[in-house]
């Protein structure tokens, strides 16, 4: 009787072990522990042939897309972030009057403590600085001026492709702006319009890719140092 009980107990334990083994070695169910990463839109495409012809820029406010041409040939496009409500970017015909690789805003920035923690990511130059805080002007790398009153194109955050987000300037994606900066010259015409883009953005150009953030002190693709930040301590820094 004792031997029979021992045999039954051993058989039962073997069955439990087999069940556990089959569970642990089986496929992992798609449950709460599975992390799904939502892909982001591709922000630009560049295929400048470097040939003859002057570069022109056309920015669609309705599509939030800038198109670049050289001698009438398409050489690239990118998503932009123009002025949000209350800070709208005005349509019109402009030309680039100034180019500066490393520029900072004289109107907008953020407050940070002695450890570099951002407490207000959308501060203005004339806001009262809280005790123990420092005002840091917002970086505007690869600056291309369009007006005498501080509107231009520069590198910055594109938080939601297709939607305005700036204080009036035209932000270009981080990886794209050095290419545009090198291609344009002082005098390059820039048209800003409410009309849609002149060409379709093909499906293959809408493939997804992650957007990368600026990092403070990182070397710029054309030399120098890029002093720019998009997120710090989970707080988005608002660029002009």
In a domain, 221, yes or no: yes
In a domain, 4, yes or no: no
Per-residue model confidence (pLDDT) at position 76: 96
In a domain, 189, yes or no: yes
Written as one string, the DSSP assignment of 204-232 is GGG-B-PPPPP-TTEEPTTSSEE---SEE
Q: What is the pLDDT of residues 116-148, one digit of tens each?
A: 888 776 777 778 888 888 888 788 899 999 999
pLDDT tens for the chain, residues 1 to 240? 554 544 444 454 455 444 444 433 444 344 444 444 445 568 999 999 889 999 999 999 999 999 999 999 999 999 999 999 998 999 999 999 999 999 888 777 778 888 888 877 677 777 888 888 888 878 889 999 999 999 999 999 999 999 999 989 999 999 999 999 999 999 999 999 999 998 665 444 444 444 444 444 444 444 443 333 333 444 444 434
Per-residue model confidence (pLDDT) at position 66: 97
Interior CA angle at 104 toward 181 and 132, to 5°?
150
In a domain, 11, yes or no: no
Per-residue model confidence (pLDDT) at position 132: 85
Per-residue model confidence (pLDDT) at position 124: 74
Which pairing describes strands 92-95 and 55-60: parallel, antiparallel, or unpaired?
unpaired
In a domain, 3, yes or no: no
> pTM above 0.85?
no
What count of other Cβ atoms lies within 10 Å of the Cβ of residue 85? 6
Q: Is 226 left (phi over 0), alpha (psi -120 to 50) or beta?
A: beta
Joined tokens for residue 142: 């690869």
In a domain, 85, yes or no: yes
In a domain, 104, yes or no: yes
Q: What total number of domains does the chain contain?
A: 1
In a domain, 171, yes or no: yes
What is the CATH number for 148? 2.40.440.10
Range of the domain at 62: 40-201+215-236
Per-residue model confidence (pLDDT) at position 21: 40
Which residues 6+ apart lie within 8 Å of 37 measured at CB?
none
Provide the b/e sequence for 4-13 (b: ≥16 CB within 10 Å). Answer: eeeeeeeeee
What count of other Cβ atoms lies within 10 Å of the Cβ of residue 160? 13
């Amino acid at each position: 009787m004792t031997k029979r009980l021992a045999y039954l107990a051993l058989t039962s334990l073997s069955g439990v072990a087999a069940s556990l083994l089959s569970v642990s070695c089986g496929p992992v169910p798609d449950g709460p522990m599975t992390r799904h990463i939502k892909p982001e839109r591709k922000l630009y495409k560049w295929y400048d042939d470097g040939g003859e012809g002057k570069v022109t820029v056309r920015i669609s406010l309705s599509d939030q897309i800038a198109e670049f041409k050289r001698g009438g040939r398409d050489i690239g496009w990118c998503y932009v972030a123009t002025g949000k409500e209350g800070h709208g970017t005005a349509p019109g015909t402009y030309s680039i009057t100034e180019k500066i690789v490393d520029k900072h805003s004289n109107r907008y920035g953020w407050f940070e403590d002695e450890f570099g923690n951002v407490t207000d990511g959308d501060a203005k130059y004339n806001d009262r600085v809280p005790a123990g805080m420092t005002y840091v002007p917002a970086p505007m790398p690869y600056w291309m001026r369009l007006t005498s009153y501080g509107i231009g194109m520069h590198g910055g955050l594109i938080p939601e492709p297709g939607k305005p987000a700036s204080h009036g300037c035209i932000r270009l994606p981080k990886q794209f702006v050095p290419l545009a900066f090198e291609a344009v010259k002082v005098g390059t015409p820039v048209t800003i319009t409410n009309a849609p883009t002149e060409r379709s953005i093909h499906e293959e150009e809408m493939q997804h890719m992650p957007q990368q953030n600026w990092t403070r002190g990182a070397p710029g693709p054309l030399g120098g140092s890029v002093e720019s930040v998009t997120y710090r301590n989970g707080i988005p820094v608002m660029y002009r």
